[in-house]
């Protein structure tokens, strides 16, 4: 039960790229970055 609860709590805390971009004053494309060779140039997005 604790693992299920922790999973749902973590999913509720996630932010969309649009939300992160607006908080940082950036465009969504700047936050997400363009993917090349299957990898993201922007790296990990922290909320």
Q: How many domains does the chain have?
A: 1
Kindly list the averaged pLDDT for each block of 10 residues, start to end, along the chain of length 47.
93 90 90 65 54
* pTM (2 d.p.): 0.48
Is 40 inside a domain boundary? no
Q: Which of 7, 17, 25, 22 is nearest to 46 (CA)?
A: 17
Place of tokens 């805390």: 13
**Confidence at residue 8, expressed as pLDDT on a 0 to 100 scale:** 95
| Residue 41, Cβ density class (10 Å: 0-12 exposed, 13-18 middle, ≥19 buried) | exposed
Q: What is the Cα–Cα distance from 26 to 2, expressed in whole angstroms?
A: 36
**Confidence at residue 32, expressed as pLDDT on a 0 to 100 scale:** 86
**Confidence at residue 43, expressed as pLDDT on a 0 to 100 scale:** 57
Residues spanned by the domain of 16: 2-33
């Amino acid at each position: 039960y604790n693992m299920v609860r922790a999973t749902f709590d973590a999913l509720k805390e996630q932010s969309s790229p649009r939300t992160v971009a607006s908080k940082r004053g950036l465009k969504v494309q700047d936050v997400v970055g363009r993917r090349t060779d299957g990898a993201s140039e922007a790296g990990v997005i922290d909320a």
